[in-house]
Structure 1
Amino acid sequence: MKVYSTSLKSLFAALFFLLNFNAFAQEEKTGSSAQELADKMANPVASLISVPLQNNLTYGIGPYNGSKYQINIQPVVPFKLSENLNLITRYILPVVDQQDVTGENTHEFGLSDATVTAFFAPKTKGIILGVGPAFLVPTATEKFLGTEKFGIGPSVLVMHQGKGLSIGFLANQIWSVAGNADRADFNQFYTQIFLTHSYKSGASLGITSEITQNWQGNTTLITVSPNVGAITKLGGQTMQFAVMPLIPIVGHSDIRPDWGLRAVVAFIFPQ
């Protein structure tokens, strides 16, 4: 359990630093620019290059009371297609270290499957829209960490954003279309509903709910996560830090953890 002890210490260290970043944010950035960046980070289709590292620690998984540490490497790269249309590409590459999840006294470590999403986002006022394809890419290095399937499906984002307030949802539905015929088909719906309020200092408070529906396995997992975040600068690098509990409210006993914690460190590259 050494890896989980180290991971837990890292997550609580992130929380400790987060509580002290407000003063640094005020020193390093003007209030308006810090809040503007916080609002852009709350917008999944903002024209902003960022590289979030999302750390997830969950305990009490399944019948063997398993534990999992997963870091999602999530770069966001926008492309300007025209004066009124952007293409926002989002990548999620998970690295997983888990124990007692697939069986008693088992351990798996490696890459899981990647998800790539491309949102075509027209420049609009009021309601922000994004639509495009989502891809499941079989990058897993361990049999139990991936599907061995290639998948594709639609993705959509709908949100409203004013200064200091962001509310909306994003969703995708992915079906497997190729891969190992001996493995189960992939058929999964995912949606994230979010509400975030930012402040002049670059701090933010919000709440997020994530819903994952596995149609093939007939399982549902719903989590709720109140969160706190802050924009700051370390040296010349602009960053956002956020921390939140992962509170499961619906889920089958085979997949639902007892509790979890998430800490996000995002490197921001304003254009």
Structure 2
Amino acid sequence: MKLTVSSVAKCVAIYTTMAASMVISASAIADEELNKLSKEAQDPLAKIISMPIFFNQYTDIADSGKDNNAILIQPVVPFSFGSDEWYGIARAIIPIDDFEIPDESGVGDTTLDIVFATNVRPGLRAGFGPIFQIPTHSNSALGKDSWGAGLSGGLVLTEGRWVIGGLATQVWDVNGDNAAEDINTFTFQPIVNYDFGEKGGWIFTSTPLIVADFTKDDDKWDVPIGGGFSHMSRIGKMPVSWGPQVYKHVKGAADWEFRFMVRAILPGF
């Protein structure tokens, strides 16, 4: 769809309704544990078990007036392996797609990222490791038959109310039979978060996903710019962070991206 007043109002209404339902269901941030978890949840290299789910809408694909929607399920599980200084983080991304271009719905390809991380100094974490792309798509329009493998790395600084850093990945195909199955994808996700303070529990967040597909001759880059807000609450006894984000794609097929995130923090580790 074209970005019009009515379309913006529709998206705002959807996200406002979702946020309101979360507020009604959850108690406001009120204890020291939630304050600490709120800070840790902003760091993708933190040693916490979590289950983020992203609801993404991409508007006006290739100036067609049609939208693509995706639910991204991203379980994150840290693990230890006998080192006092290093620890591991396993992170999967499982996409459930509902596309108007192409007109297909189903499961896309799964990404599995295994990072070995360490505390470089207080407040500064670094990590690197292998990443794999697994052909789990339910039909050929939603993924590639090739397996992919590559490298990932990240650096995150927590300083006062700021959390700043970035995550980068590079994946190539390992068994592509033809050019259509080639994989040569680079991603970079900058991280800029600002905590407004313990009493409010609100955080400004900007985590756009920049993608370059080097198998394409033209239009290789997808570059969104924007941000949003998140809040840490409880549903029952479970800490949950949630919030909306909006991004303008200055390069790429989509015009705008509307994102709503819900992240459950699970006990363990």
Q: TM-score range by the shorter chain?
A: 0.7 to 0.9
* 2:36 counterpart SS class: helix
Specify the code of the residue in structure 1 equivalent to 2:209: E
Give the match for residue 15 of structure 1. 19
* 2:215 counterpart SS class: coil
Which of 254, 257, 262 does residue 257 from structure 1 map onto? 254
Give the match for residue 152 of structure 1. 149
Residue 40 in structure 1 maps to residue 40 in structure 2: yes
Residue 127 in structure 1 maps to residue 124 in structure 2: yes
Number of aligned residue pairs: give it. 253
Distance 2:36 2:183 in 1: 39
Distance 1:17 1:164 in 2: 27
Q: Is the contact made by 1:14 and 1:243 (CA closer than 8 Å) also made in structure 2?
A: no
Residue 56 in structure 1 maps to residue 56 in structure 2: yes
| TM-score, scaled relative to structure 2 | 0.87
Specify the code of the residue in structure 1 equivalent to 2:144: T
Distance 2:179 2:150 in 1: 22
Distance 1:17 1:213 in 2: 36
Specify the code of the residue in structure 1 equivalent to 2:190: I
Q: Is the contact made by 2:34 and 2:239 (CA closer than 8 Å) also made in structure 1?
A: no
Give the match for residue 70 of structure 2. 70
* 1:45 counterpart SS class: coil
Residue 111 in structure 1 maps to residue 107 in structure 2: yes
Q: Is the contact made by 1:38 and 1:203 (CA closer than 8 Å) also made in structure 2?
A: no
* 1:39 counterpart SS class: helix
Residue 24 in structure 1 maps to residue 27 in structure 2: yes
Q: How far did residue 10 of structure 1 move?
A: 5.0
Q: How far did residue 12 of structure 1 move?
A: 3.6
Identity of aligned residues (%): 26
Distance 1:182 1:208 in 2: 31
Distance 1:208 1:233 in 2: 23
Which of 187, 191, 200 does residue 188 from structure 2 map onto? 191
| C-alpha RMSD over aligned residues | 2.3
Q: How far did residue 243 of structure 1 move?
A: 0.7
Moved over 6 A (4+): none
1:125-161 CA distance string (max 9 Å, x none): 1431000011111000011100111101110101211
Specify the code of the residue in structure 2 equivalent to 1:162: E
Distance 1:221 1:137 in 2: 22
Distance 1:123 1:92 in 2: 25
Q: How far did residue 246 of structure 1 move?
A: 2.1
**Structure 1, unaligned stretches of length 5 or more?**
2-6
Distance 2:194 2:234 in 1: 20
Distance 2:226 2:72 in 1: 17
Distance 1:214 1:12 in 2: 34
Specify the code of the residue in structure 2 equivalent to 1:119: V
Q: 1:37 to 1:163 in 2, by over 3 A?
A: farther
